[in-house]
Structure 1
Amino acid sequence: MRNSLESSSGRNTLYQDVTDRIIRELEEGRVPWVQPWDGASCSLGLPRNAVTSRTYSGINVLILWDAVIVRGFAAQQWLTFRQALAAGGNVRKGERGTTICYADRFIPRDERQRAAESGEEPAAIPFLKRFTVFNVEQCENLPETAANTQASLREAEIVPAAEAVIAATGADIRTGGGEAFYHRTEDYIRVPPQTAFFDPINYYRTVFHELGHWTGHGSRLARDLTNRYGSEGYAREELVAEMASAFLCASQSITPTVRHADYIGAWLTVLRNDARAIFQAASMASKSADFVLGCAAGEVRSDSFA
């Protein structure tokens, strides 16, 4: 019987398989976290589990967004084969699922016993598991609650919601000038006035990008923001902020766009050198977006980490 935990070589293969797909997309001029939603059949939003309603995060957002675009699904709801059966429905015969990833750590029984005897902290072993999900459109006989899809709002209607999310962070956002940036040492965001943007909705996309950097401050999620411009570390942080902006935009039904296309070459270099980089960046981006949305939901106060 195959162990449910991936072997080291299996983990490496999974990391490389996904990374190779992302590299191919970038080389062909497509940015996986900014899909061509105008031509998509589905409404914009974050993919979520049809049974638990939990949104997927990290690399799984990119994998599932790619699937709805490429395969033309009109829904962003997914579930496993067993979940479909438990909900009273089933996956249609012949349907091909989408492989996503689950990463965690576990402590073997022997290690627990050793730690207990020695008084040391037990060492956790990381594992990466792959499993298959199906879009609700690939299923039949599901209850209406599981098969329901949400219609996206028009951009003009969702701007106030975006404003509310931004305000709830309590971030020091200063309007003016012709350049957007996050000032790490003084912990503030500078962004041009909305009237300076050719497309007004880009103001929100830009603020979300800078909020992505803002969450990395030492008093919040504590990422390394000290890398100099042009370095690999700088490219990695920009990758996190780009995806965080895309995830935040999608959560507010704003179509994501590439804010910094000139970094694509640097991102390709990072991904070619490190098969785990896209997993790490996507995970950090999800945590960043969750932090911002947690402020709006009252779950997190930006000053509570200070």
Structure 2
Amino acid sequence: MARPKNKDEYRAELAETFAHVLEERGLEWRKEWRGSGGDAPHNGITKACYRGSNAFWLSLISMMKGYTDPRWVTMVQIMDNDGKYHPKQKWHLKAGSKATYVEYWYPYDIPNKKALTWEQYKQEIADGRSDSEFKLSTRYTAVFNACDIEGMPELPAFEETDITQDELIAKLSAGMGVEILTDGGDQAYYSPSQDKIHLPTPGSFTSEYAFNATALHELSHSTGHPSRLNRDMGGFFGTSQYAYEELVAEMCSCFMGVNLDQTASPAHIDNHKAYVQSWIQAIRDKPETLIRAIKDAQSAALFMDWKAGLITDMEYSKGVGSAMEITTRSRDRDAR
């Protein structure tokens, strides 16, 4: 992105970037705050971090259920019948705990009808076998969060960082009449019934931009309240309407980020895009829906500009109903 001349140009370029986010590869969303355990979702035995959609899904489940520990383990690892994983400890799954499933892709040897590890597959190819003799297969493995396991050692508490709330957040909270509570825990959410925002403590975030951008995300949700822009926010988790609202809020927070004292790094922008990309998969008419969500995000950002006192009543009235033109890149049909 070239250096923009002004805020409108910056937002227009961001909108273009989001319009083509489905075409990008290698984007992985990372939660930018830590619970009492800190870190990204990872296996509690191997320490291997989950990647891609698995990392996003486990982070989302943690937020929904209030898990404060990033460690996840399989039932085999919990039971440890052979004393391989934690021979001096007895772990037990708490009654009523439910599994979350992660996706694992692996190479399958077609002629020999057996699954291979990736190391075995690489060796077979190095030995001269053809790619056509293998296919990708997938399986789903049940994992459980450390918060649901008795006997598992607790993680040491992390040291909180010095994070300051941006002045813009206070202006928006006051101007929109939405109280922001930093009441700890591992969840960040807007409650429509309370018309309040709940965030983890500022010191649990990885950077000042991360904290303030998350606050902007939840404030963006609050613009959909019936007393404001009155968007349809009735969708439950897993529905396309829920996913659509997440798209609007994340893009709006990115648009509003230009008003923060902190500058969004390329990594922060990529994280915004990765979050959008993860949710757009839940919506059937992907390109068209994304364009509509961008326009709703622009409307929400304009409303927030007004409530923060960044534009006048006249400027807001003039801007209502207008939207930046978003072009969609032509998509060639894949060769068959």
Q: Which has the higher helix share?
A: 1
Q: TM-score, normalised by structure 2?
A: 0.42
**Larger-Rg structure:** 2
Q: TM-score, normalised by structure 1?
A: 0.46
